[in-house]
Amino acid sequence: MNNLFKLENVVAVVYALVFGAALFALFFLRVSDRLAMPVAVGLFGILGFVIYLRPAQRISQRYSALFVALNALLVILFFIPGLTFSVCLPLPLLIVFMLLIRRERSTAMEQWLKTKNFSPVANPPAEILEKLGPDRNWRCFANSFHPPGSREVPYLAWFGFLRTNITTMVNGAPVQTVGLISQVAVSFFPGTVGENFKQMIESRAADRQSFWKNLRPSSAQLYPYQVERFPDGSFAAAWSIEHIPLLLDEKWHELESLLAASDS
């Protein structure tokens, strides 16, 4: 139920209602084109913002809320006779919004690492790195979980990218482009997590193979694509998660909850 009231969902519903009302007035209530057309054109221009808001909201809730307010003001201007110039404003406003979100994304990850007190690890465990895949440009950091009502659990966090070659056809000729899939892994030192926790993570990895779960777009973030037990007692799991603070906070909260539940 809470998902229904997320900002991007509320904006999409309100937009659909206003746009539908404008079209109804234009085609069925015989409102003059001079009044109705600028409104319809302006609302259509805002569609790009409504679509882009969902991924942008994950990166910066502050900028998203600000530009929702600015676009709401634009909608009001569309309905004021004599301010037809306002229909030209959605596109430049969207461009500014996209540039701000792009800049925010480039700095948000580093700020998140700093805020959460991650310490870079110059020489991460070679065996774990080998299993995770050394070709994925992993960056390794040390930190500790502090599950509520439980003990401190030290761990290593790994942030990397999987490069994929994507072939598309342009004018009848194949063109290859390089895609990047963000990946996150967490490894635990020997003796720091119990068997219950390991089995919880392994069961989620097994759930990933479910046909129905593979149909869900969020399954890559919910279920680990790799789980490893090491001879020395170390334990590691890896997910395909974008390096966005909001998504990382959700994953870290989930892991802390599992650690607390496994110790209870």
Looking at the structure, do residues 126 and 248 belong to the same domain, yes or no? yes
Who's near 23: CB < 8 A, 6+ residues apart?
A: 40
pLDDT tens, 225-259?
999 999 999 999 999 998 988 889 999 999 999 99
Rounded CA gap, 255 and 221, in Å?
Answer: 13
**C-alpha torsion angle, residues 242, 243, 244, 245 (rounded to 10):** 130
How many domains is the chain partitioned into structurally? 2
pLDDT of residue 33: 61
Same domain? For 46 and 158 the reply is no
Is residue 96 located within the same domain as residue 136? no
**147/71 same-domain check:** no
Per-residue pLDDT of the chain (264 residues; tens, 9 = 90+): 445 457 778 888 888 888 787 777 766 766 666 666 777 788 888 888 988 888 788 778 888 889 899 998 988 888 887 777 888 889 999 999 999 888 887 788 899 999 999 999 999 999 999 999 988 899 999 999 998 777 899 999 999 988 776 666 566 666 666 667 889 999 999 999 999 999 999 998 877 665 445 555 445 567 899 999 999 999 999 999 989 888 899 999 999 999 998 876
Same domain, 39 and 121: no
Residues 200, 126 share a domain: yes
Q: Can you list the alpha helix ranges (DSSP code H) found in 125-192?
A: 126-132
Single out the residue in 105, 135, 150 at which a domain terminates: 105
Expressed as residue numbers, the domain containing 244 is 116-263
Does residue 101 sit within a domain? yes
Indicate whether 245 and 147 sit together in one domain: yes
Q: What is the pTM assigned to this prediction?
A: 0.71
